[in-house]
Amino acid sequence: MSQLLNHHRSIRKLTTLVENRTTYNADYAELNIYETHAYAEQVALKFDFPIIASMLTGKKVMHIDGLESFDFFPGESVVMPTGKEMVIDFPLATMDNPTQCLALGIDDHKINEVVEKFNHQVAIENENNTWQLDQNASHLINNTDVNHLVKRLVYTFTNNNTSKDVLLDLMIQELIVRLLQTKAKSFILNDTDSFLNDTRIGMAIKFIKNNLTNKDISVDLLAKKACMSTSHFHKKFKNTLGISPIDYINSEKIKFSKKLIKERKGFRMSEIAFKSGFNNTSYFNRQFKKMEMITPQQFQASISK
């Protein structure tokens, strides 16, 4: 990320050591880059439009109504509705190692336009079709898709390009969709059983949760449970949650396998794989490393230290 900010540093003016602000404008959004070069506490920020704030370098401690106070590191983001205040501490900021953060503000009309399109795509007979970026702040950790988009946005905002506004418009639309998918996924996976019973995607999710060790779960079977064709079900599932049915099934099985590894330390990995609903150990190993970035054996070793 530091390389992405090279052009920004060459043109920005430093007028204050705490939350020095540089603004870049586009048709439907503005990018604010904040830099703090000194220790500070209880610095309040509020915006007249919805924003996504992402850490670039350093560390902050965030205090936001509705969330427990939390440390804010690079690779993490916060979605803030209009007019909601964040109060920030800067415990590590110095002249040599400033804390840098961006706040991307998006026009309400653009958000509503994309939300309407998104709702049309995920609507299933008027079920599940009222997703919106609501009045609650949310803290995003390890959201790879959002992180990649933030980097692309920073580069495009801070560098001149003949197609700059067109590229930014496309990226901002994608960012809104990613945030909506994150919200939809969180709601569907964590809400009450009544929701899981009342929607077709919800019923499929509930079936997966209740049959994790079943080695015969397939997209065809889930589509039948949802009373939809296989292709239609696959499209609606991925549009709503941002993940394919198979990838979701595997992610839940890997989550279950981690629980088994923690609880049953005498089990061989072949037994863990079988009890987690995988047909063979090699496929289990590949999926585990794909999702956790380490092998099952490395995970087992890390928790036994």
pLDDT score of 124: 45
CA 46 to chain centre: 22
For 63-83, what is each residue's pLDDT tens digit? 998 888 999 988 788 888 888
Q: What CATH number did the domain enclosing 129 receive?
A: 2.60.120.280
How far is it, in rounded angstroms, from Cα 24 to Cα 62? 24
How far is it, in rounded angstroms, from Cα 127 to Cα 98? 47
Confidence of residue 271 (pLDDT cuts 50, 70, 90): very high
Whether residue 111 sits in one domain with residue 175? yes
Whether residue 185 sits in one domain with residue 301? no
Whether residue 95 sits in one domain with residue 217? no
Instruction: Write the burial class of residue 90 (CB in 10 Å: 0-12 exposed, 13-18 middle, 19+ buried).
Output: buried
Whether residue 169 sits in one domain with residue 39? yes
**What is the domain range of residue 200?**
192-305
- Contact assessment for residue 53 and residue 80, using Cβ atoms and an 8 Å cutoff: yes
For 24-72, what is each residue's pLDDT tens digit? 988 888 999 999 999 999 999 998 888 889 988 889 999 998 888 999 9
Domain end among 158, 190, 222: 190
Whether residue 286 sits in one domain with residue 261? yes
**Total number of domains constituting the chain:** 2
Domain end among 134, 159, 190: 190
**Rg of the chain over CA atoms, in angstroms?**
22
pLDDT score of 187: 56
Whether residue 182 sits in one domain with residue 209? no
Whether residue 76 sits in one domain with residue 222? no
pTM over 0.85: no
